[in-house]
Amino acid sequence: MNPPPTDHRPLAGVTVLDFSTLLPGPLATLMLAEAGARVIKIERPGGEDMRFHGPIVGEGREAMSAYYALLNRGKEIVTVDLKSPDAVEVLRPLIAGADVVMEQFRPGVMERLGFGYEALSAINPRLVYCAITGYGATGPRAAAPGHDLNYQATTGALAIGRSPLIDPPPPGLLAADIAGGTLPAVINILLALLGREKSGRGTRLDIAMTDGMFTFGFFAQAQGAATGRFPEPGEPIFVGSLPRYSLYRTRDERLLAVGALEDKFWLAFCDFIDLAPGLRDDHATPAETRAAVAAKVAGRTHAEWSARLAGTEFCVTPVASMAEAIADPHFVARGLFAHSVSTPSGRVLPAAVVPVAPQFRAPPGVVPAPGI
């Protein structure tokens, strides 16, 4: 029998011990796994909470959360009670051979359990130890609990978008979890592994989801620093203060996204909908222009706008549902949904889409989600 082909993915040979649960950490280690890393997920006996969050695929011992399956494709499982007195000794061989540790407990928890950075780096000085928390390991809020919405609230991210004209519900995107936690964790783990090649030693990464949220506020920060005045809620152009960059309801109560920021796009759209010449300077007449555009958009259904806008080039797009987006021929052609994950019941699901370039991943195929 021929030996198996060598794995040429960039993280082949890297071993990750994943102590994290729920979303930010597991999504980060999924990205590392897709790039070739061996990810060993450490779970408590019986499994972590995400295994039981509906929707559930399968029944009985084969039951598994679809969320869990997508986040943990291709990982291995070791179950250990971290509160057990011999937990560190049980995991010592894995710690000694690991390159990366990922954890997502509140600050101090891993230290109390004997799994803090100092303890593990004494076993393995080359270990890159990544801790994702809400507010970081230091500072007055370090021990505070929270979730994505709280992290967006405390960093000003939610205030930027609130406006008398556009009053949104809680945002549907988990920006703090993913853009504030997952992505900075992956970036800094890769930087730490690169730095280890030069220094020979690992390091501890303190990833605070709230720190990452301030990156979203750089427009407001720049304005405040330069002028001494931060923008009021709803004031920035990109949150809908101008009619040319906003959302409008169609006749069937769906949405049209107008993103015609540049004059060439905006004026082309104005021609397209036959907007009165006196309303095209939306800086001068924002309320009147918005009302007129809204009336034009409300005159047609979402499907009618989709047909009329096909092939146009002024940055106006019908808002797709998730089902429509997944079926969009463009995204299908790019292979975003070519990878799959199998569950213990035998059900095969589309794999989570991750921003890892195709040349760094294995070819599309079915990879299992781990049972206990």
CATH number at residue 169: 3.40.50.10540
Angle among Cα 57, 61, 62 to the nearest 5 degrees reads 35
Sign of CA dihedral 74, 121, 140, 221: negative
Residue 367 covered by a domain: no
Could you give the C-alpha distances from 63 to 51, 52, 69, 185, 346, in angstroms and in order? 9, 8, 10, 30, 10
Give mean pLDDT, residues 27-42: 98
282 labelled catalytic: no
CA 255 to CA 253: how far, in whole Å?
A: 7
Question: b/e map of 7-16 (b: 16 or more CB within 10 Å)?
Answer: eebbbeebbb
Note whether 266 and 194 are same-domain residues. no
**For residue range 68-93, what is the model confidence (pLDDT) as tens digits?**
999 999 999 999 999 999 999 999 99
Model pLDDT, residue 145: 94
Note whether 196 and 284 are same-domain residues. no
Could you give the C-alpha distances from 17 to 50, 100, 119, 224, 296, in angstroms and in order? 18, 6, 15, 42, 56
- The answer to whether 243 and 279 have CB atoms below 8 angstroms apart is no
Only one residue has tokens 């021609």, namely 271
Going by the DSSP 8-state scheme, the letter that residue 135 receives in this structure is: S
Note whether 80 and 197 are same-domain residues. yes
Element holding 204 (H helix, E strand): strand 203-208
Could you give the C-alpha distances from 139 to 10, 115, 150, 214, 310, in angstroms and in order? 36, 22, 17, 16, 51
Tell me how many domains the chain contains: 2
Note whether 177 and 280 are same-domain residues. no
Angle among Cα 201, 206, 210 to the nearest 5 degrees reads 160
Residue 355 covered by a domain: no
Give mean pLDDT, residues 103-130: 97
CA nearest to 41, candidates 24, 16, 64: 16
CA nearest to 192, candidates 204, 209, 174: 204
CB neighbour list of residue 334: distance below 8 Å, 6 or more residues apart: none
Given a cut of 50, whether residue 271 has pLDDT beyond it is yes
Catalytic-role residue among 177, 211, 282, 339: 177
The 3-state DSSP class for residue 368 equals strand
**For residue range 223-270, what is the model confidence (pLDDT) as tens digits?**
999 999 998 887 888 777 899 999 999 999 999 999 999 999 999 999
Residue 238 covered by a domain: no
Residue 366 covered by a domain: no
CA nearest to 23, candidates 46, 49, 42: 49
Note whether 134 and 69 are same-domain residues. yes
Provide the residue range defining the domain that includes 310: 255-318
CA 187 to CA 132: how far, in whole Å?
A: 13
Model pLDDT, residue 303: 97
Model pLDDT, residue 3: 44
Model pLDDT, residue 6: 82
What confidence tier does 1 reach under pLDDT thresholds 50, 70, 90?
Answer: very low
**Going by DSSP bridges, is the β-strand pair 340-342/348-350 parallel, antiparallel, or unpaired?**
antiparallel
Amino acid at 304: E
CA 292 to CA 105: how far, in whole Å?
A: 51
**Last-in-domain residue among 276, 297, 318:** 318
Note whether 212 and 291 are same-domain residues. no
Could you give the C-alpha distances from 32 to 20, 246, 262, 349, 365, in angstroms and in order? 14, 36, 38, 20, 17
Note whether 207 and 275 are same-domain residues. no
CA 354 to CA 312: how far, in whole Å?
A: 29
Note whether 36 and 168 are same-domain residues. yes
**For residue range 327-347, what is the model confidence (pLDDT) as tens digits?**
999 999 999 999 999 999 999
Residue 80 covered by a domain: yes
CB neighbour list of residue 353: distance below 8 Å, 6 or more residues apart: 336, 337
CA 33 to CA 176: how far, in whole Å?
A: 22
Residue 102 covered by a domain: yes
Note whether 195 and 259 are same-domain residues. no
Note whether 136 and 27 are same-domain residues. yes
Given a cut of 60, whether residue 43 has pLDDT beyond it is yes
Could you list the beta-strand ranges (E) of 72-111.
76-79, 100-103
Note whether 94 and 33 are same-domain residues. yes
- The average confidence (pLDDT) of the chain is 94
The 3-state DSSP class for residue 177 equals helix
177 labelled catalytic: yes
Note whether 188 and 49 are same-domain residues. yes
Residue 221 covered by a domain: no
**Last-in-domain residue among 318, 335, 366:** 318
Could you give the C-alpha distances from 308 to 38, 272, 298, in angstroms and in order? 49, 10, 14
Residue 55 covered by a domain: yes
- The answer to whether 336 and 351 have CB atoms below 8 angstroms apart is no
